[in-house]
Structure formats: C-alpha cells, structure tokens
Chain A
Amino acid sequence: MSLIRLENLNKIYESQAGEVIAINGVSLDFKAGEFSSIVGPSGCGKTTLLNVIGGLDKPTSGKIWIDNTEITSMRDKALIDFRLKNIGFVFQAYNLIPVLSAIENTAFILELQGVEKRVRNERAMELLKAVGLEDKADSRPNQLSGGQQQRVAVARALASRPQFILADEPTANLDSKSTETLLDIMAELNIKEGTTFVFSTHDQRVIDRARRIIYLEDGQIK
C-alpha cells in the first residue's frame, strides 16, 4: 500500500515569458520505508515536486494522497497542521533557528505539537545521540559546522516521528566526509526506525545510496 500517491500532477508557473511547466503529468507512488531519490538536472522540477508533495506548494492540477488523505484540496490552516504532524523537512541550507541550541531546535517541532517538556527533551536527546551530536546539544547553530547543522536538521525532521521525510538537496552544502556521515545516519534511521526518506538531489553520492531512483526531466518522469 502506498504511503504517498501522486496522480497526474501538473504544476505550471505563469511568467512574463509565458507559461513554465515545472511538473508535467507526474503519477508516482512511494511505499512506507522507501529510501528514494528524485534525480535530474538543475531546473528539471525536483524541488517543485518535493514542495508539492510536502504541501508547501499547490499543484495546478492532479491529486496527492498521503496515507489515504487527499491533501491537495486542504485549506492552508489544515495543511500546516498536517505538515506538522506527518512530514519532516530537511532543507539544503539547514534552516535551523539561530537563537535555539541544537537540542532546542530538535525539540521545537514537538513543542509546536504541544508535547510535554520532559518527553520532548528525551526524544531530542535520543535523536541527537543517533546523529552523533549529543555533546553539541547546547551549541547554537553558529557554533556548529555545516555537516553538524544538517545532522541537527535531520534530527529535527525526525523528532515527531513523521510518516516520511522530504530532503531537498541535503548534501549540497556539505563536504565529502560530512555527506557520508549524514547519509550513514539517514540510512541507519531508515533501516532501524523504518523512516521513509524522499530526496531530491543531483549528488552522485546520494544517488549511489538510494534504493529507488526516480529520474525527472523537464517535469516528467523518465
């Protein structure tokens, strides 16, 4: 049974030069526990597809089901709540909250969900251990390296035990060693906790580790 199901998805942007077709009739299924990569050249629509799956952007047409819930017709408020409870995000530029420490950043999603302080701190510490940053729990993002920040971002994305994690070019700003470490962590979490990962990337190191690769070109699956 599909965790994520995309049905004839289209996304068209209006621009001064005319219409730009970012996603063109994409139909796709992701099963729970997948470790998938959407790959393709720059501008092929990878990030747009990820944004649409994550409910950050609305498709022009087509439908998205997540665990049998159709999200394309959801109102903004409901969609934000749905994202909070069901989807974890890892961004290219880490996007941590600069004024919070690593543990506070990790626990932040749980705070938004109204989880009790003791429980969220335990979960955050458990995840920081999992990404190898328990000794950096009290460090602010500016005291961490790029790789460490991205590991905190992964920990944050996992904190609320979401149905799946969308990672947009997670290794784009990382060196080789940090990339390998991060991929090891994500692969381990995928196996141990059964977390579903969907990446968008053109990084060969990520592509090499993915168990399913989806090629996108000009907004279409090849």
Chain B
Amino acid sequence: MKIIIIAWRNIWRTPWRSLVVIGAMSLGVWSGIFMMGWANGLNDQRTISILDDNIGHGRICSRYFLEDQEVFSTINELKPIEKLLLSDSNITTFSSRVICNSMIQGGSGSAPVIAYGVNPSSEKRVFKSVQNISSGVFFKRQVGDEVVLGEALARKLEIDIDDRVVLTFQDINGDVRSALFWLVGIYNGASSMIEESIIYVPSRTISFQMGLIDSIKLSNESQIIAHEINYRVKNPYEIEKVNNALETSFLKNRNAESQSIVFRTWKEVSPDLGVADAILSQSLLLFMMIILLAMSFGILNTMLMAVLERTRELGMLMAIGMNKKKIFKLIVIETILLSFVGLPFGLFLGHISLLVTSKTGITLKSVEQGFEQMGLESTIYPSVVPEYYLPIVGLVLILSFLSALYPARKALKLNPIESMSVL
C-alpha cells in the first residue's frame, strides 16, 4: 500500500513535468477516440447508404435458391413469413422479389443482367436506389411489360424512355424464353456496376413469363411468389438479434420442409461490408496503439529522468532493505499511475466531443461534391464508440508497463553505495 502512496506522491514531486505528460495523454486519447468515432461514423454512413441502396437489412430466401439460383427454388411459405414480418415491431418494412438472370437486348447491343421482379410500391419503401429515378417513373402499373434500368446500362445500350428491350431468360421448365418490355424509367444507382447489372420489372409480369404463376394469378393483387424477401429494421446494427428472433419464431413448430428457409443478415448477404467493419475496427485500434506508443516514449523519458534524479534515494531504499522486486514495483506503479491520470480525462473529453458532434454533425464543404458522387452526405455524424474504451484502457496499461521496463531496469542496476555518493 505504501508503495502506491510513494509512487503517487513521487508523481507530484515535479508537478509541471507530470502535468505535461498527463496533458499529452489526455490529448492523445481524446484525439484518438475522436478519430475512431469519426471513422466509425463515416463507415456507418457508407454502410447504411449501400444497405439502403440495394441490400436491405435482412434477407429471407430458400436454401436451394441460395445454393443453385434455380428458377423454381421459390419461398414455399411466403404468406406465413409475410405475416411474421408484419407482426414484428422491429421490422419497419419489407419487399419480395422474383429474381431472373437474363440477357437484355436493345438499341445497340446486349448485356447480362439480373432482373428483379418487384412490387413497385413495397420495393420503393425498402430501397433508395429505386427512389432515385433520373428519367421517367418507377413503373406506371403494378403489372405490365415495363422495365426500369440504370443510367449506365441505358447509355451502354443507347436506349431511352419508351424504347423497347428484349429480355431472354430460362423459364421454370428450363426452356429459353424471350419477352418484350418497354423502358419506363431510368434510375441513378450507387455505382455504375449496379446500374449496368440490375434492372427492375413488375414481379407478377416476370413470374408469369417465367412460368411461376398462371394467367389467373397474374391478375391477383397481392404478391404470390418470390425468391427472396428483403426487410428493414429500426437499427441495422442490431440486425442479428432481430434476424435470430425471426428465424426462431418461424421455425417453431414447423416441419422439415420449413427448415429450407434461410434468414440472413446484411453481414451475411454482403460479407464484404461486415469484413470492412471488422477491418476498420482493427485499424482504428492499431491507429490508437500508434498514438499511445508515441506517447509511451514520452512517459519512458519522464520516468527515466525521474529515476536518474532519484538515484541517491533509490540507493538508500536498497541499502535499508527494499528488495529489487519492490523497487521494480515502485517504478512500474509510478509509470502506470502517471499514464492513468490523463486517461479518464481523455476518455471523458473524447466521449463528450463525440456525443455533441454525433448530434450536430460536421459538414465538410470542401469535399461535398466528391462525397455526393460516392452517394454519401457531406455532413458526417461521428459515432460514440464506448466499445473501444476498454481496449484503450488495456492498451494504456500494457504500454505504460512496457515504458516502465527500461527505467525500472536502470533503477535495478543501481549500486546502493555508488548511488548514495551521488550529490
């Protein structure tokens, strides 16, 4: 206990020198945490933008469709699933899709595309990309030979509104079929890759063309068949919880056939986004480690000065019977205390800064245009990052311990007689 008291009082023997180290630690932790919050906020905005555009938050489909993308691998219990989604308060909206891998021909050429057979109104509620129509409309009718495609594809095929295109695809029997569609809308997507590869057609029209429904069901108002259902939740970062609850609730008291329904989160649908989150998280900790490592050299220097200044005193402590273990402990505790005094201030300042800026946002006027081209807003809302606080405390503990090693080694090498003769 006394060693801790001596260590603590030793810190304040040279208050200004200690305050400089404490201030540096506070500023370093503050800036590191703010950078972490900033990068997290930027990444969250980017992720949410991509999810809003084309992926959604959660996706439900048949296991068979996931494996082989066969036309007939539709969701066999669409109605119960839709009922379940409607009853879950965490789910804000959902939309079903029929998916058709096709070849589009029109104007000056052809291209392979994925045709999403959608219910226009529900698709618009789930995805932003279809809200961003640069020319025409996102379908005039719920059923009809209409197609909406991206700006890049329209340019490539040299077609415009009211032009005709032909879609060639496989039907449910494996026969190749072609159908004529009229271009009614052109959307502006998150990227030219999306614009070139994804087109939209009314769900019931393409389902009929693919032989998934007959002409009677074609006139049915409600969605009757789908390959996948996309849904949105209130907080996309809590999707695992909602998705697991949905799956459990759906599979309860159901037969083996129902086991073929797969509930996936956006992280499973688009693993690159989940991986990007993990990489960012690791990178930010690495960044913080570099800041703290730089500061630990300052701490090392301060402690080394302290040891050299207290040579006589350390020699006396050894002479009267303080063993090397206790001398080592004294230097290590002193270093850790010195590092830890500034830490809570840095954490507090960082937390408060992030709390404020996460509400107000920070607008980057100079890069506004570039951000918009990437589909991002120029106002960044940093995230509060409490999940990093404990690792930061751990890092400070480890680095301050490491910083103490060299000064402690110097102290341990002192000879009591020689040390006490130092004036």
Contact = CB atoms under 8 A, between A and B. Distances in A.
Contacts of B2: 104, 108, 111
A72 to B, nearest CB: 16
Interface residues of A, number: 24
A103 to B, nearest CB: 12
B417 A95 contact: no
B326 A112 contact: yes
B417 A80 contact: no
A164 interface: no
B13 interface: yes
Contacts of A89: 319-320
Interface centre among A89, A99, A100, A156 (most CB of B within 10 A): A99
B9 interface: yes
Interface string B298-322: 0000000000000011001111111
A99 B6 contact: yes
B316 A112 contact: no
Nearest to B313: A97
Interface string B277-317: 00000000000000000000000000000000000110011
Given A56-B319, A57-B417, A104-B2, A99 B324 contact: no
A83 interface: yes
B334 to A, nearest CB: 11
Contacts of A81: 321, 323
Nearest to A82: B321
Nearest to B321: A84
Contact of B321 (A95, A97, A100, A109): A109
B271 to A, nearest CB: 57
A61 interface: no
A98 interface: yes
Contacts of B326: 112
A99 B320 contact: no
A112 B330 CA distance: 12
A111 B316 CA distance: 16
A56 B13 contact: no
A80 B323 CA distance: 6
Given A99-B10, A100-B6, A112-B326, A83 B417 contact: no
Given A97-B6, A112-B326, A83 B313 contact: no
Contacts of A97: 6, 313, 316-317
Contact of A99 (B13, B312, B321, B322): B13
Given A84-B323, A111-B2, 8 more contacts: A51-B417, A81-B323, A84-B321, A91-B316, A104-B2, A104-B5, A108-B2, A111-B1
Interface of B: 1-2, 5-6, 9-10, 13, 312-313, 316-324, 326, 416-417, 420
27 contacts: A54-B319, A56-B417, A80-B318, A80-B321, A80-B322, A80-B323, A83-B320, A84-B321, A89-B319, A91-B316, A91-B319, A93-B312, A93-B420, A95-B313, A95-B316, A95-B420, A97-B313, A97-B316, A97-B317, A98-B313, A100-B5, A108-B320, A109-B320, A109-B321, A111-B1, A111-B2, A112-B322
